[in-house]
Amino acid sequence: MSSGKTYEEYLAENGTLTYTFSGVSMNPMLKQGRDLFTVKAKTAERCRKYDVVLYRRPPSHYVLHRVVKVREHDYVILGDNCIAKEYGITDDDILGVLTEFVRAGKRISAENRLYRFYARVWYAFYPLRMLIKKGKRRMKRGNDAAEKT
């Protein structure tokens, strides 16, 4: 997308966007510098639980994270490698929905049964992953404090 267009403009003109992933929030599913993802412009249809969506976080940050809860007027969103859920993401915030990603030259559809299973299992382990990450942070803080004394 070197044309200087926003994601919104590009999706409005082309209907889909294929891009490389940046960051660690969707590890282990997507890795920076390795994987590509394709999103289709969001339609009027509501997103489903476990969909991965590209959304705009004001003022101008774009985020690719997973829907973990569909509520009446909004969604709860979480990156696969994150512990903090985002609340209040609306349909107006969502630009597109992941349709596939490419890893090692292999295309994996978001409708693939194995992929959908992965999404459910990965989220089911969220409470355990959260405890492990928080424990690691506490241990690091404890080690850092011990080194300072």
Q: What is the pLDDT of residues 114-137, one digit of tens each?
A: 999 999 999 999 999 888 888 887
Task: Look at residue 1 and tell me whether its pLDDT is greater than 70.
Answer: no
Structure tokens at 53: 């969506």
Spatial contact of 42 and 96, defined as CB atoms under 8 Å apart: yes
The pairing of beta strand 36-41 with beta strand 75-78: unpaired
By three-state DSSP, how is residue 111 classified?
A: coil
Predicted confidence (pLDDT) per residue in 34-92, tens digit: 899 999 999 999 999 999 999 998 888 899 999 999 999 999 999 999 989 999 999 99
pLDDT, greater one: 17 or 140? 17
Predicted confidence (pLDDT) per residue in 20-32, tens digit: 878 899 998 898 8
The identity of residue 61, as a single letter, is H
